Structure 1
């Protein structure tokens, strides 16, 4: 039985656990291993799908369910199964995609996520460069109408600052059963209503018979806010979005300075330091 004050830790991946080389540092790996040896439960919560996350899941040898697609899917390592917990109808996905294609400039890349596949009509060179480093291989199709009639998970729009501002403005005009979240400075997501890392974390903690007060969570961007609000101890890496830095109870060094390791050693294993010290 764990004697840790926070026996459960969930971490975002991009900008949090991964450094700017797209790697989990040796220090983070060692600290996660120590946390687990002391009885702690560790898992991930990410906007990525399973194939994009598999490298980290395998490297960490995760035992507990992983929150994928910003809370729309849970991955169960024990059975290697994907459980969609929030989906949108195909008609709804098509309506949103059609509206986006009509109103957004061509600089915006659109990706439609199924449970285990991602579809696109085009991939810009900038997005492809990121994709090549992150196990992200969408299936390029002539029309989104060719998406199979399978569970629809989410839509991701990718663009620069001007395009993201346009997407934010567009979202305020939409009155459909979907939610919107920025998962990075260049990624804007349209999710099934109710899908969030926070709601998925609550579901997971209930499954593990843990109260939220016993959970710690760490992240860096707006899609992590709901998760941080559900955890007994919320942490942000120093490179986090201003809204995340403001909400977090603890600020740790950046993703390039082993922030996850710092959280484990200074606030989970030695939980009495509470100051916001990057």
Structure 2
């Protein structure tokens, strides 16, 4: 890896990598991220969260690059508060999936994110409520037909066993080719636009910035980070990642998310850059 910090473009997953929903960002991560950016390093996030939630979680951290949001469906520049790219679901196919799954699984929570990541709650449960509270999201409760156009993703939320069953059920159904299902957490299953994910967001971001993808560093923890990690110039898995994610990474941190895994790795880059 290069020694000049400005050569790095670091894309960091958020939940269970940079932070936990309950505890937030460890202070050591905040300190080292600020130092990394002050010394010329370029740092941003690649998250399933919408911009509103990313902003709330980061607090006083000012990203030095646009963010990959909504699992790649939105590229968002916080410095100008602009959506740089907006990929959308095929609404009729997503609606068919929602109605079918809601009928099959009466307790499933359903959210639609549209526009710049605004949340619309189609069916609430304890998991959608926790999602809003933990990620500081405002939401509008409404029937599916009342959600505005420009859907970026659908989130099904329930206990891990129900989500597993929904994922299995979805594999037996055909709702069209324009969307696909993506497990993003043990309690979330999402519908995303076909061809869109964190990896496509990484590629598009490099194109927008005029950068080579070989200069990217990706830090992640879950299966939905795998393709992005494989595309990046260098990939890092945090210590709490599943074995398959660790096996796919170039490096695994010593620390877990809550122990400051991101700070650990960024400080290593700083040390390399300042050691002659």
Q: 1:128 to 1:222 in 2, by over 3 A?
A: same
Q: Distance in 1 between matches of 2:266 and 2:212?
A: 19
User: Which digits, 9 at most, give the CA deviation of each residue in 1:101-135, with x for residues without a partner?
Assistant: 222x2221111111242112332124323421211
SS at 1:189 equivalent? strand
Q: Distance in 1 between matches of 2:256 and 2:16?
A: 8
Look up the match of 1:109.
Answer: 109
Look up the match of 2:101.
Answer: 100
1:68-147 matches, cutoff 5 A: 68-103=69-104, 105-115=105-115, 116-141=117-142, 143-147=143-147
Look up the match of 1:274.
Answer: none
What stretches of structure 2 of length at least 5 have no aligned partner?
none
CA contact (8 A) 1:52 1:134 kept: yes
Look up the match of 1:28.
Answer: 29
Structure 1 vs Structure 2 CA RMSD: 2.1
Moved more, 251-260 or 111-120: 111-120
CA contact (8 A) 1:221 1:241 kept: yes
CA contact (8 A) 1:86 1:194 kept: no
Look up the match of 2:153.
Answer: 154
Q: 1:126 to 1:99 in 2, by over 3 A?
A: closer
User: Which digits, 9 at most, give the CA deviation of each residue in 1:15-48, with x for residues without a partner?
Assistant: 0111464322221112112221222110011001
Q: CA deviation at 1:5?
A: 8.4
Look up the match of 1:10.
Answer: 11
Look up the match of 1:276.
Answer: none
Look up the match of 1:222.
Answer: 223
Query: Which of 253, 259, 265 lines up with 1:263 in the alignment?
Result: 265
SS at 1:163 equivalent? helix
User: Which digits, 9 at most, give the CA deviation of each residue in 1:137-192, with x for residues without a partner?
Assistant: 32112x211212x2111111111122122122123224422122111111111100
Q: Distance in 2 between matches of 1:138 and 1:106?
A: 21
CA contact (8 A) 1:217 1:227 kept: yes
CA contact (8 A) 2:29 2:260 kept: yes
SS at 1:82 equivalent? strand
Q: 1:19 to 1:117 in 2, by over 3 A?
A: closer
Q: Distance in 2 between matches of 1:209 and 1:117?
A: 29
Q: 1:268 to 1:192 in 2, by over 3 A?
A: farther
